[in-house]
Amino acid sequence: MTMIFLRGAAFAALFFPSFAFAAGTCADLTKPEAHPPQLTITEAKPVAAGPDAPVSYCLVHGELGDHKGVDGKAYAIQFEMRLPDDWNGRFVHQFNGGNDGKVIPATGPLLGGDKTQTALGRGYAVVSSDAGHEEGAAADKGLAGPAAFGLDPVAREDYGYGAVAKLNPPAMALVEQYYDKKIAFRYGIGGSNGGRHGLMAATRLPEQFDGILAGYPGFNLPKAAIQHAWDVQAWTKVDPDIAKAFSQADMAVLAKGILSACDVLDGRVDGLVGDPQACETHFNIASLACKGDKQPDCLSQAQITALKTSHAGPKNSKGKALYSNWDWDPGMASANWRTWKLQSPIPAWGGKPIIAVMGAGSLAQIFTTPPTAIGGTPDDLQKYLLDFDFDRDAPKIFAKSGPFTQSAAEFMIPPGSDNPRLKAFRDAGHKMIVFHGNADPVFSVLDTVKWYRKLDSNNGGKAGNFVKFYRIPGMPHGAGGPSYDDFDFFTPLVAWVEKGEVPGPVSAGISNGNKEAAGLAPGRTLYCPFPQIARYDAKISAASPDKAPFRCE
């Protein structure tokens, strides 16, 4: 009989799959010889499992890529890693959202309505970063401060793609050094700007991620930011105080009208528009117009005009589309949609929505070149959007100037997104799942539909062999709203990457605490890979009461 002797990590991996063999202790990671030289480790300490930690892990903080900006400020990519004691041999790069600027805890949220579901809780090593800047570094600029890093070209590039490109290799090397074992599979997870990071990684770093989960991706973020100015200018034609342009009751009228025209199109009246493409021809917003004076159950002509203008998307004076058109969905009446588009509950913002504060600061300082000096009060920021000229200012997202040798379109938009192929990602055998809410107020789901259709065409109708796309009825910007928000796209992604199990319909329910979903039919629904939609099937309902009564077609 042949005797085989295994030692250390090899022995542990064979006989104890969940065993984590460490090259040293957690605290040892602060020693220069215990981590890749690109990284400066400022802290490494063990954290016990408890109410705020589903597992015990080694918490690591550090930085890399420090430099002095042309604006005289100090920059670096600050990061956090969480290395579970019971490691499953896999790695997740957590792509964060918004303007970044702070290190979100490296738990690896899985983007569904159940916030307790994380990659860390499933045994993944996770890294998270601030994308190369601190949001409080320009506090003197008021509400414009979090986007003021846009005054430095390197910080811009790090925000766009550089931080992931610089951090990912040494972060993976640290994981392997700590556990004394190769990473089996590498994943990227992110929503919103994090979803954009996912598409960017698939394009610029196709060899580094076996699987990517990209939720509601803002891959055309600079173009989408032009919509902020377009909307604010449209809303103020209804009322100078945009919070009063549409009341919550007005948006409920809109949602009721959409449902009345379109809910039944998928075969079941359940509070959702399951066939959005058919809805485009069935719903006419003019049908909601008041016959005379404004009444509670109808919309004024000014409101109808403003919504039609917003829905069509921004254009210049020649009629050229500058971004995308939008979907009609009852999720437009959600609190999330309102917070982004019309009114926030934040006192310091003067009640102005996210597009008029964060959106304005970003468009002025990050997404146009040269960056525009802008005041930091709510009125200053809104004025910038009101003064935005779609002939003069929109081309600045493609401009370069002085030290800004990359345009915003170059550092923010994944190369080739207008004609995507993802050949290197495909040829590497890697996989991606993209999902997007039909009621997203920030990034148009129809822009993602256009991207996927082009990707599919460029791959001979076989994009589904490596990228699956799902539309989520009722969902605004992120899980929630009047939608079945308790879903899990990460598990099918992992099964696809590691076992070759091609994702199909994904079942979804309603998460605890989602009060906006109270009007939906009880039970579960299905999300189908695009271009399929879920159609009601009474036979399934009768045969399996606990099963989502739909089929994909």
> Which one of 152, 263, 477, 483 is the catalytic residue?
477
CB atoms within 10 A of CB 15: 9
**Strand 125-129 relative to strand 431-437: parallel, antiparallel, unpaired?**
unpaired
308: which residues sit within 8 A by CB, 6+ positions away?
A: 285
446: which residues sit within 8 A by CB, 6+ positions away?
A: 324, 325, 326, 327
Structure tokens at 121: 């809780």
DSSP code at position 55: S
> What is the rounded CA–CA span in Å between residue 379 and residue 48?
47
Is residue 56 a contact partner of residue 49, using CB atoms and an 8 Å limit?
yes
> What is the rounded CA–CA span in Å between residue 514 and residue 278?
27
> Which one of 192, 324, 417, 483 is the catalytic residue?
192
Nearest to 524 by CA among 483, 471, 469, 489: 483
Residue type, 123: G
- For the question of residue 477 being annotated catalytic, the response is yes
> What is the rounded CA–CA span in Å between residue 86 and residue 101?
30
- For the question of residue 440 being annotated catalytic, the response is yes
> What is the rounded CA–CA span in Å between residue 326 and residue 540?
33
> What is the rounded CA–CA span in Å between residue 150 and residue 364?
9
Nearest to 96 by CA among 170, 194, 163: 194
Alpha-helical runs (H) found in 390-489: 408-412, 423-427, 445-458
> What is the rounded CA–CA span in Å between residue 189 and residue 187?
7
Place of tokens 């390197």: 154
- For the question of residue 485 being annotated catalytic, the response is no
> Which one of 85, 210, 393, 440 is the catalytic residue?
440
Structure tokens at 402: 């002085």
Annotated catalytic sites, by residue?
192, 440, 477
